[in-house]
Structure 1
């Protein structure tokens, strides 16, 4: 059994290139930039015990390479899933479309129930 120890949300965009991969990478970076996990030093658990689940939302999920996004995750065993979401915002004046991606990064550890004693 696992326990979720953190969930962070992020947003990323590509304003001129319609690059879904770039927007998704930026969304993941935004999410993990807001967190730190001092629990690994505090209770002596190796970060390799952590499972990381990343969910990325973009308007064209087939434009994303989930395996390439894993390389930007600094810790744990990562899984990236891509779903329809985010936004495409067209600019009629320039013909550009801004791509907005959203990401949720969740981290799980094996259950710690019964392993902690309050002193």
Structure 2
């Protein structure tokens, strides 16, 4: 059965001092999902297990992101996380410290539903 994207949220997160790409990505994901409510599940008597959650995080060093750890902490659905080149590193010229900034897209997909139409 094909899927239908029901929700897309965006978020931003950073790690000010540790240069930890996974921490910045986790904060971006948290920022995105904090803006979402999912009343559709109760309204249509659906299980959260029916939802596939696709997360894309953009950081300057995608290989430094622990995608499996991020997927394990998502609160609902079957999560997939991938890291891509994006985000931003900002260097403090006085100290050389780098602020890691991550951007995240969190998408929720459900099997196509019958009997109702999204408009």
| Same fold, judged at TM 0.5 (above) | yes
CA-based RMSD of the aligned residues comes to: 1.0
Aligned length: 116
The Cα of 1:50 is off from its aligned counterpart by: 0.3
Q: Tell me whether 1:116 sits opposite 2:112 in the alignment.
A: no
Q: Secondary structure at the match of 1:116?
A: coil
The Cα of 1:115 is off from its aligned counterpart by: 2.4
TM-score by length of 2: 0.94
Moved over 2 A (4+): 114-117
In structure 1, the residue matched to 2:87 is: 86
1:81-105: CA deviation from partner (whole Å, max 9, x where unpaired): 1100000000010110000000000
In structure 1, the residue matched to 2:100 is: 99
Q: Secondary structure at the match of 1:57?
A: strand
TM-score by length of 1: 0.94
Q: Secondary structure at the match of 1:109?
A: strand
Residue segments in structure 1 that go unaligned for 5+ positions in a row = none
The Cα of 1:116 is off from its aligned counterpart by: 2.9
Q: Which residues in structure 2 correspond to 1:57-68 (within 5 Å)? A: 57-68=58-69
